[in-house]
Every structure is written in C-alpha cells, then in structure tokens.
Structure 1
C-alpha cells in the first residue's frame, strides 16, 4: 500500500472555518468527480486540535490518501483531469508555499 501525506496551511486572509468549508464543499467534490479518483483506496483529512502542552501545529490540515500502488497514485496526480480541474483550485484555499508532502509505504505496527 502506498500513501501520500500532504500538510499545508490555509490561504492568507481565510479563516479556519472558511478553509474547512471550502475544502469539504468545493474542492473535495472537484477531486471525487474525476474518474481517476477511483484509484484512491482511503482518504482522510485531519485538522489540528488545541493541545496546550504541545507546540503550535505546522499545518492547518493534513491529508492522507492510500493507493494500491505508486502507479495508481501517479495515474491520479499526473492525469489531465487532475492537472486541469483539481490542481488549479488549490490556490483558492491553500498557501501553496506551505505544502509539504511525503510519499510512503505504510507499515502498520499496531492496529
């Protein structure tokens, strides 16, 4: 199983609630409307919660998407639909300079 983990901050001037609403109500439907998104096996979005004894979070959201293979992941992220319909929308709610990503092979230690 291959997983991509993306962390990012919201676009400047956007409240956290506006960011969450936009991602859920506008961006997610764009992504899941393209046929290549069917290659995603699991998709999770995490938002930080208040944790007073820990440092401030580096990101406003972390997205995890699982794929059966690196090829399946590439089929999504490098397809014409993603490049022309989904990717351009990121600038509407994400600070693009803040994006961090890790492509990983997930090994479950405790389930």
Structure 2
C-alpha cells in the first residue's frame, strides 16, 4: 500500500472554517466525481488544532490518500480529469506555495 501525504495552508484571506467548508462542500465532490478517484482506497483529512505548549502548526490541513500501488497514484494525478477539473480548484482554497508532499509506504507500529 502506498500513501501520499499532503500538507498545506489555506489561501490568504480565507477563514479557517471557510477553508474547511470549501474543501468538504466544493473540492471533495469535484475529486470524488471523477472515475479515477476510485483508485483511492482510503482518504483522510486532518485539520490543525491549537495545542498549548506546542508550536503553531506548520499546516492548516494534512491530507492522506492510500492507493494499492504507485501506478494507481500516478493514474489519478496524471489523468485528464484531475488535471482539468480538480487541480485548477486548489488555488481557490490553498496557498499553493505552502504545499508539502511525501509519498510513503506505511508501516503500522501500534494499532
């Protein structure tokens, strides 16, 4: 199993709740409407919370998406539907200069 982890901040001028609502109500339906999104095995969105005694979060959200293999991940991110329908929407709620990503093989240590 392969996972992509994406961290990002909301676009300037957008409130945190507005950011969460936009991602849930506008962006997620765009993504999951394309047939290639069926390659996603699991999808989790993690929103930052303020925690006393810890530094301010680097990101407003971290997204995790699991795929059976690297080919399935590449199929989604390089398909015409993603490139023309989903990817252009990112600018509407994400500070694109803040995006960090890593592709990993997940090893569960404690369950």
- Normalising by structure 1, report the TM-score: 0.99
| Distance in structure 1 (CA, Å) of the matches to 2:76 and 2:49 | 30
Question: How far does residue 102 in structure 1 lie from its aligned partner after superposition?
Answer: 0.4
Across the two proteins, how many residue pairs are aligned to each other? Answer: 111
- Normalising by structure 2, report the TM-score: 0.99
Question: How far does residue 64 in structure 1 lie from its aligned partner after superposition?
Answer: 0.2
Which aligned runs of 4 or more in structure 1 are off by greater than 3 angstroms? none
Structure 2, unpaired ranges of 5+: none
**In the alignment, is residue 63 of structure 1 matched against residue 55 of structure 2?**
no
Q: 1:54 matched to which residue of 2?
A: 54
Question: How far does residue 48 in structure 1 lie from its aligned partner after superposition?
Answer: 1.1
| Distance in structure 2 (CA, Å) of the matches to 1:94 and 1:50 | 20
Structure 1, unpaired ranges of 5+: none
- Post-superposition CA distance 1:50-103 (Å, at most 9, x none): 211111000000000000000000000000000000000000000000000000
